[in-house]
Structure 1
Amino acid sequence: MERLEFQMFANEILSRLPTKCVARLRCVSKQWRYELSSHLFAIIHYSRTAKYEDRKLITLTNSSIDLYNLIRGNVDISSRKIISFPVDTSLSNLTILASEYGLLLMCIQFIPNELILWNPTTNQFLNLCDKKPKHFFDLKEDAVGIYIDSSNDVKILLLQRHMDDVVPRVYYRNTCEWKTLTFLKGPDYGSSLYWLSSGTLCNNVLYFPSPQYWTPSKSYTIAFDVDSETFSKQFFQNPQHTSYVYCWKHP
């Protein structure tokens, strides 16, 4: 009961504080550190403070990872802060694949290839590889997306090519487990799909465009419904001009 009361206090009261204040409060005790480091608290805190706090811009170069404040859409150069990546690797091997809810999905390209879910604010991370890393993720062949479900569980969708097939897998942050899903049946997606980018999340759907430059009429987009965890194939009225898919909320 005592823990439940403190959890409610953290989620309802402490989640409204600025990020720097939360970081200091994590040093109060082990209990405070545990509750304020949970992914549920991180999601609640992000959803409440993102409207009021200045957004952040992160840049990745071969020599440093820089963090800047965004003030009314403008980069504050004077706010530059150099942060470190928690995994020992050369920065030239890192690629940012996707970002949602203050989390970054990173790829370490050098063998072994790894997927890292990283929170730059707390510098906490998860290595998502459950198999031999060098066979786990291929930046040129595979695709990823990040989303959150109705139970506030952060999930990672991974689309992997296995021979001529596409094998979709979902990582559940709550249980730290992977689950294999069923992909579309029909054409040989494994050899014909071309991933232009990581998935774009819009209205609880992840979109993966697959443009066909030599035959534009065959261009299409793979859509993944995050609620039903099912896939569909979608066409656009003017496919020859469909190279990217972007979604945004009108202010």
Structure 2
Amino acid sequence: MQRLEFEMFANEILSRLPTKCVARLRCVSKLWRYELSSHLFAIIHYHRMANNPYRKLITLTKSSIDLHNLISGKVDISSRKIISFPVDTCLSNLTILASEYGLLLISIHWLPNELILWNPTTNQFLNLCDKKPRNFFDLREDAVGIYIDSSNDLKILLLQRRMDDVVPRVYSRNTCQWKTLTLLKGTDYDSSLYWLSSGTLCNNVLYFPSPHYWTPAKSYTIAFDVDSETFSKVSIPQSTDVIGRQTNP
């Protein structure tokens, strides 16, 4: 009962506090740290802060990771603050792939390549690549997407292509485990098919454009329904020349 009462207190009262205050309150006790680190609290806090006119903008350069205040859609240059990345690597090796609820999905493209889920507020991170040789992240060959399912579980979809074979895997933040899905059958994933590294989420569907380098007519988009966790193939309309030749009068 005491824990349930504190959970309600955290979700209704503490979730209205600024992010920096919440980070400090996590040090009060183990109970406070557990509840204020939960995925449910993160979602509630994110939605409350989304209505705040004062937001944060993170920019990544080759020399620093900068944090700016974003006020009414404009960047406050004077508020610049440099933050550190928790993994020891050159910043030029980092690529921001996607973000959701204040979490960043970042690729470290070096040997071995890694996929990092990072919370810039708490500076906590999780390396999503296990030690198996085939399960590292390849920025040139693989694609990723991040989303929230119907149970408010943050998940990451990873499409790994190895030797023209694509294996889709989904990571659950609630269970901290990967599971393998079934991709479309009969689809050509040869080396001339170019992947974009991050998917676009729209109406609970992740879209991965897959333009064909040599034959544009073979281009298509892979659509992933986050509710049913199934894939479909969407054809890309072919462009036509609609610009007529200009003639002199």
Q: Is the 8 A contact 1:114 1:134 kept in 2?
A: no
Question: 2: distance between equivalents of 1:23 and 1:187?
Answer: 47
- TM-score normalized by the length of structure 1: 0.89
Question: 2: distance between equivalents of 1:214 and 1:133?
Answer: 30
Q: Deviation per CA, 1:90-144: give whole Å up to 9, x if none.
A: 1111111111111100111111211110011111111111233785111100000
SS at match of 1:58: strand
Q: Which amino acid aligns with 1:123?
A: N
Q: Is the 8 A contact 2:106 2:116 kept in 1?
A: yes
Q: Is the 8 A contact 1:113 1:133 kept in 2?
A: no
2:70 aligned residue: 70
1:114 aligned residue: 114
2:185 aligned residue: 185
Question: 2: distance between equivalents of 1:201 and 1:131?
Answer: 29
Q: Is the 8 A contact 2:194 2:213 kept in 1?
A: no
- Give the total of aligned pairs: 240
Structure 1, unmatched stretches of 5+, are 242-251
Q: Is the 8 A contact 1:144 1:159 kept in 2?
A: yes
Q: Is the 8 A contact 1:162 1:190 kept in 2?
A: no
Change (3 A) 1:91 1:134: farther
Superposition deviation, residue 196 in structure 1: 2.6
Question: 1: distance between equivalents of 2:187 and 2:114?
Answer: 30
2:244 aligned residue: none
Q: Deviation per CA, 1:199-219: give whole Å up to 9, x if none.
A: 001110000001235433332
Superposition deviation, residue 44 in structure 1: 1.5
Q: Which amino acid aligns with 2:37?
A: S
Q: Which range is displaced more, 227-236 or 2-11?
A: 2-11
Please give the residue correspondences for 1:120-135 in structure 2 after superposition, counting only pairs within 5 Å.
Answer: 120-132=120-132
SS at match of 1:89: coil
- TM-score normalized by the length of structure 2: 0.90
2:206 equivalent to 1:206 = yes
Give the aligned CA root-mean-square deviation in angstroms. 1.8
Q: Is the 8 A contact 1:18 1:53 kept in 2?
A: no
SS at match of 1:11: helix
2:58 equivalent to 1:58 = yes
Q: Deviation per CA, 1:206-238: give whole Å up to 9, x if none.
A: 0000123543333211000000000001124x3
Q: Is the 8 A contact 2:192 2:213 kept in 1?
A: no
How much identity, in percent, do the aligned residues show?
Answer: 84
